[in-house]
Amino acid sequence: MGAQYTGRFAPSPTGPLHAGSLVAALASWLDARAHGGQWLVRIEDIDTPRCVPGADAVILQQLAACGLVPDQAPLYQSQRSALYQAALDQLIATHLAYPCACTRQDIERALAERGQVRSRHGELVYPGTCRLGLRGRPARAWRFFTGNIERNRPPALMGRTQTAPYLIANQPLHWQDHRLGPQQQNIEEAVGDFVLNRADGLWAYQLAVVVDDGTQGITDVVRGEDLADNTARQILLQGALGLPLPRYLHTPLVLGVNGEKLSKQNGAIALDTTQPLRALDEAGQVLGLPAGLSTRAPADWLQQAVALWARRLKLTGD
């Protein structure tokens, strides 16, 4: 595969790496190296209120202490607004993005009127109110049209002449995960028309990640299973923007004592990289690698792990 593989680790600098984020970083590194590919790091610092100054440098140091060094200088999403704007303009031009004036209360009210207040990970399932236009209200955000024109006949069309690529009437979007197997989601029902540019002016994760994976030539997205739910939306955006589709592998999560996914938000402690072999061993075991691969140095540990990973992928032929 060689040069045909480009992978990435894309941390949000909201704090130092924890045990769970090292699993995703390690898996993406191992998969890239086992395929003889490149490995990049992208700092996802667009959600500025959640970013912690200096966390990017801490994350890069923690990765380096574990022997995980990107092949190119890390890219920062905060410096790429022009690209996200160009992508939004492209979606507006094809009528797949539309302005939305709804506040959270408006959305709650509209859903309550239909007797269906539904949310997904704290996000309300948008009922599509502004598909019909702003009706004099000021635009707050931009949303992606997840409807299918075969099902949403005029006036819901508002000039829309096409359905987003990959959307087939009354069908969920199907995709394949290397670990989880076949996946599907009916995006319009499960998520609704999702936000591309937020009411506070910030770019939404879905748009930024797709633009960056596309422009960086990412062929393989390897990341934590908690992000699997975003994949259908990202595939939809890739199709709408004419970007190539990467392959996907979602890795197992590290659970906290309460049985919930370990995250910076639920107070996961920073990864102790003064003992990198121990950190790598723990992360490796979550990925099904044996303990104690090396007692020498991270580089040696990683070399053993890549060989096992390649064998698992049947890339070595033995």
Q: Using the rule CB under 6 A, is 127 a contact of ligand GLU?
A: no
Buried b (16+ CB within 10 A) or exposed e, 300-316: ebbebbbebbbeeeeee
Site mask, ligand GLU, residues 28-67, x = CB under 6 A?
A: ----------------x-----------------------
Min. distance of Cβ 210 from ligand GLU in angstroms? 9
* Nearest CB to ligand GLU, comparing residues 227 and 262: 227
Taking CB under 6 A as the criterion, the residue among 75, 204, 208, 209 binding ligand GLU is 209
Q: Using the rule CB under 6 A, is 197 a contact of ligand GLU?
A: no
Site for ligand GLU in 9-28 (CB under 6 A): 10-12
Binding segment toward ligand GLU, per CB under 6 A, in 6-14, 88-96, 160-168, 186-194: 6-14
| DSSP H or E segment with residue 299 | helix 298-312
Q: Using the rule CB under 6 A, is 212 a contact of ligand GLU?
A: no
Min. distance of Cβ 183 from ligand GLU in angstroms? 15
**Cβ neighbours for 82, distance < 8 A, ≥ 6 positions apart:** none
Cβ count near 263 (within 10 Å): 18
Contact 6, 218 (CB under 8 A): yes
Rounded to whole angstroms, how far apart are CA atoms 104 and 200? 13
Residue with structure tokens 């009210």? Answer: 109
* Nearest CB to ligand GLU, comparing residues 42 and 160: 42
Contact 100, 309 (CB under 8 A): no
Q: Using the rule CB under 6 A, is 233 a contact of ligand GLU?
A: no
Min. distance of Cβ 289 from ligand GLU in angstroms? 21
Binding segment toward ligand GLU, per CB under 6 A, in 8-16, 134-142, 177-185, 239-247: 8-16
Q: Using the rule CB under 6 A, is 223 a contact of ligand GLU?
A: yes
Helix 81-93 with 205-215: angle, nearest 10 deg: 100
What are the residues facing 100 on neighbouring strands?
141
Min. distance of Cβ 107 from ligand GLU in angstroms? 24
* Nearest CB to ligand GLU, comparing residues 102 and 210: 210
* Nearest CB to ligand GLU, comparing residues 28 and 273: 28
Contact 222, 231 (CB under 8 A): no
Contact 173, 232 (CB under 8 A): yes
Contact 129, 106 (CB under 8 A): yes
Q: Using the rule CB under 6 A, is 246 a contact of ligand GLU?
A: no
Rounded to whole angstroms, how far apart are CA atoms 40 and 212? 11
Binding segment toward ligand GLU, per CB under 6 A, in 5-13, 63-71, 81-89, 194-202: 5-13
Per CB under 6 A, residues contacting ligand GLU are 10-12, 44, 209, 223, 227
